[in-house]
Structure 1
């Protein structure tokens, strides 16, 4: 394992994040505040509790996941796309760095950024409402797993994309709508049939539910099912990346 190469890429990616840290942290804080003003005040004044949890606190896990999904995909996809765009990807191919070390470095840096932003959103939420965390270690662990999973997906997207427009089409047209329809701001149990059953086919439901369980000890689905979905996403994404490197898919052209 080339630890020096991993550290070099990891530090380079975090340095890029450091140059825009103020904006990267300020924007999620403002966005979170706006969500609390709209959802917490306007809707929360009419819907006091959801599953016994104050509505203002109930939406916090969903807000964190909404930002982490998009940030994880964006950070990881942009990180690997830029070497392709500038042509430095060929230097990476010729360097004594294995595909596994490349993935660890890029995905690790992107996941670190996403977790920092997630914690920033959580800190901002405490300015508006008290949020109990029933299982703090599980919360951090689940946050890291989600960040790594979506960073792997973003890494795949960065390799697949052939333009900056393609980098944003999946997060904007697929991930964000699935998050809003995946119980980020409401409980699936509140939906009438057949919408309740249809919603359960949305994989994001299981991710948000598992993360919400770490806060309140309850979720829309069982925690072991949520963990199974996260594990499946990790395995599938990693398998796709292995195939991409073995075949050179859009990496050597």
Structure 2
């Protein structure tokens, strides 16, 4: 493996993050802090416990997942779209690095940035609501799997997009609504029939439920179903990336 090539891509992407620190890190943390103020402190103080967990603490996993999903997709999609837009993608494709090494560099950097952001949001949440993590190993596992999977998904979007506007279509019109409707702020058990059943077709439900189980030991669906769901989506994304490089879709044309 060409570790120097992977490291070069990784360092370049991470350096871009720190050059735009306000937009990449500070803005998402401040935005999420507003959710904690409004939903956790203001509204949560007037609500009872949800499944034995205070409402302010109950929404912490959902807000972390909301940020993790959107940032993973945005970071990875912009990372690969920028060289396409500037024309430097051809230099990358002709460099002595394999497709696996290219994906490893871009996806690794995007996932790293998302995990850093997730950790910062967890630290910020501590200032607003008390919470405990019952299964820390599983929590880390879910966060890492989610960051990697949705960074791969973002990579696919970045290859597919042919304008900066298209980069925002999937995150704004698909990922964010699915996250809000995926139990980030409530338990799907609170939904009336038939919406509780319909919600089970939302893949984000399984991700949020899995992380919430890792935090508090409560879940809307079986934790093993959550692991299976993210495993299936990871496999689909890997297959999609493999197909892109095998066919040269929107890369070599």
| TM-score when normalising by structure 2 | 0.98
Name the structure 2 match of 1:97: 97
Map Cα deviations across residues 177-215 of structure 1 (whole Å, 9 max, x no partner): 110000000001111110100001100000100011110
Gapped regions of structure 2 (runs ≥ 5):
none
Query: Residues 46-125 of structure 1: matches in 2 within 5 Å?
Result: 46-125=46-125
Distance 1:230 1:160 in 2: 22
Query: Residues 120-139 of structure 1: matches in 2 within 5 Å?
Result: 120-139=120-139
CA deviation after TM superposition for structure 1 residue 42, in Å: 3.6
CA deviation after TM superposition for structure 1 residue 98, in Å: 0.7
Distance 2:42 2:249 in 1: 48
Deviates more, 1:53-62 or 1:40-49: 40-49
What RMSD over aligned residues (CA atoms) do the two structures have, in Å? 0.9
Distance 1:248 1:23 in 2: 32
Distance 1:231 1:60, change over 3 A: same
Deviates more, 1:136-145 or 1:107-116: 136-145
Name the structure 1 match of 2:202: 202
Off by >6 Å, runs of 4+ in structure 1: none
CA deviation after TM superposition for structure 1 residue 141, in Å: 1.6
Name the structure 2 match of 1:171: 171
Name the structure 1 match of 2:232: 232
Map Cα deviations across residues 193-246 of structure 1 (whole Å, 9 max, x no partner): 101000011000001000111100111001100000110011000001100110
Deviates more, 1:137-146 or 1:58-67: 137-146
Q: How many residues are matched? A: 253
* Partner SS state of residue 49, structure 1: coil
| TM-score when normalising by structure 1 | 0.98
